[in-house]
Structure 1
């Protein structure tokens, strides 16, 4: 059951709502064309992934679609075809109804996630090694879940797949798309970022019928499997995950912003030539990381509360915009920053709109990059320039900068500024 923390703040809003129009069954949503095709408007469409149900309840009215980050694959190196939810069945039913109640116009398209590692693979579910029985079972389980809870579609987020899975992944998506469209449902696919390669090449991959044409710089396993032109034809919505340019780990490529403006621009330059603008979304991070610069210490995620704590408690050097090379030149003892110094070349020619905090804690110099309204606005202007369909968040949580939500209310217009 929902806690009082969620129910009480919402009661006043709920009194004014017409309940029968909000509790859609799966068939109601399927037969309502407006539920699947938003009316044409001159603005970016708002989308988000989220694991935070309270944040979803609070802000769902701002979004045209929302991806509850609910599902993963059953099985490790091999898959059964079944999907597992982080919510219990009765929780799914109740929470989806609450989200419908809070914002009937918002499409609910949950995500199935799997990041490949040594112990967890995307294999049988996409028909690898001719295992079409498990693949077909996987598709049927997805359709059953959609029918059970009245979802508007499904979001496939299969990341880091090795290159030999490219062709069977594509076959899986075609089959899934066809079955979804029979029901009037949406196929959304989350994909790895790519930028234009200076010199195209060919990548032979064992297990494929033909080598991969590599016209992108990031020739990694995930990027090799996600073919932009194919996905632009097959998927209804394509969402580029533009973050983790500077990951949590210490070492290469060192500290920096998650999605600097120049990188977003280069990703879109590549993407719009291959994916129809009306299908294309750019996913922007709402977080950053806090790295140690010269000692072995934990790297921490930075959302609004941690950035605020550092500003108020640690007397940091505050930089916005951030010129990493200038900071390195002017900060005392910067030569000791062994986790930044080897990678200074990566910041050559870049001044970031992303804010940063440089401080000392427990005898260790640290830097925290984070996202605020100003940096977010600048990234949104790049999306506007390319006239793509919309943006996505990774991720919507209560600890995002509240000014970002205010900005969304202002940008989307007064009709989205309150629960309705």
Structure 2
């Protein structure tokens, strides 16, 4: 670990560019449009704890146009952005691209790979930033085909150049990458030869002003941690185990300067139905949906169940019932697992970000349902 931390420090010290040695520790948040009223209200009351806000999100359409799902020129955004600017808090709205099927992935690929389309897309983004007087833009293009790698790199390079001409910044949001030796239960040259990625960390680390890494939604992505917990009988469905987060950062820091890297931390969790083992099959967990802190906390209190903090730093509890939350009969006795993040889990990740010398943290998401104590740890 000390060797990896030293490597990270050496990598970050060689970078000279947008961020200097005196760069502040960024404290950023994403505010989702589907909970914009509660999210904006909570944010307004706690702006002093932040350095950046990102309304989430404009949405990239399959035809290459950008949909204003935020309705950015309406309330509550108008008042929130105006107040943020008064307090010199940077505003970097997000553009989200998340294809849901092969056809949408192919269309995303064509937008990035065809020079004419890509150039037009860059111009559209720059125009959007200038028209609304944003400080820059946050690009969150996920679920890309691996074949998109050189073209996504070209897109970010061209967009960075265009934005910098107007003194605007490019924020790049990328998926977390689990090291192959942890992701797979066993590895071989054959397995490793098939590992391919759509994000070129070296290019992203060079052309993006900040790189937000979404170190959450881990689930079973780390086979080593899954097996370690299974061997001692632990239930294990983390959103972001702190040990996994460290692995993700250690890998990213080989290519991305520490002061550019912004650690994404979750405020939410998930609820699972526990499917009992039958015969030779092992116990299974079927994810039902997401859970914000408030709902999970209220549920635990109503059931008089004290949540347990896992070795990974998050909270969880299990319960059984014959009725749903509305009192409707389920037809049989069912067991559930609730696993979620709170202010303590977030505080642990902020501590790691500072220990690693990162540029800051970004919280997903502020929607009025997060642990209210989060603002104390962000100060």
Bin of the TM-score, shorter chain as denominator length: 0.7 to 0.9
Q: Which residue of 2 aligns with 1:136?
A: 119
Q: Contact 1:57–1:99 at 8 Å: present in 2 too?
A: no
Superposed, 1:363-378 pairs within 5 Å as 363-378=333-348
- Point out which structure has higher relative CO (alpha carbons under 8 A, 6+ apart): 2
Mapped partners of 1:169, 1:387: distance in 2: 27
Q: Which residue of 2 aligns with 1:304?
A: 293
Offset, 1:147: 1.3
Q: Which residue of 2 aligns with 1:242?
A: 215
Q: Does 1:353 align with 2:313?
A: yes
Q: Which residue of 1 aligns with 2:178?
A: 195
Offset, 1:101: 2.0
Q: Which residue of 2 aligns with 1:65?
A: 52
Offset, 1:123: 5.3
Q: Which residue of 2 aligns with 1:9?
A: none
- DSSP 3-state at the match of 2:368: coil
- DSSP 3-state at the match of 2:180: strand
Mapped partners of 1:49, 1:117: distance in 2: 22
- DSSP 3-state at the match of 2:74: helix
Offset, 1:403: 0.8
Q: Contact 2:72–2:78 at 8 Å: present in 1 too?
A: no
Mapped partners of 2:315, 2:201: distance in 1: 31
- DSSP 3-state at the match of 1:299: strand
Measured against aligned partners, the alpha-carbon deviations of 1:217-238 in whole angstroms (never above 9, x if no partner) come to xx47xxx001111110111110
Q: Which residue of 2 aligns with 1:395?
A: 365
Offset, 1:178: 0.7
Q: Contact 1:241–1:282 at 8 Å: present in 2 too?
A: yes
Change (3 A) 1:149 1:86: same
Match of 1:114 among 86, 93, 97: 97
Q: Contact 1:314–1:360 at 8 Å: present in 2 too?
A: no
Offset, 1:38: 8.2
- DSSP 3-state at the match of 1:141: helix
- DSSP 3-state at the match of 1:275: coil
Q: Which residue of 2 aligns with 1:46?
A: 27
Offset, 1:152: 0.6
Match of 2:165 among 165, 182, 187: 182
Q: Does 1:262 align with 2:239?
A: no
Q: Which residue of 2 aligns with 1:101?
A: 83
Mapped partners of 1:236, 1:202: distance in 2: 36
What stretches of structure 1 of length at least 5 have no aligned partner?
A: 1-36, 204-211, 248-252, 323-350, 410-420
Mapped partners of 2:72, 2:175: distance in 1: 31
Mapped partners of 2:20, 2:202: distance in 1: 26
Offset, 1:61: 3.2
Paired residues in the alignment total: 320
Mapped partners of 1:173, 1:213: distance in 2: 26
Offset, 1:39: 8.4
TM-score (normalised: structure 1): 0.69
Q: Contact 1:243–1:258 at 8 Å: present in 2 too?
A: yes
Offset, 1:131: 2.6
Q: Which residue of 2 aligns with 1:24?
A: none
- DSSP 3-state at the match of 2:373: helix
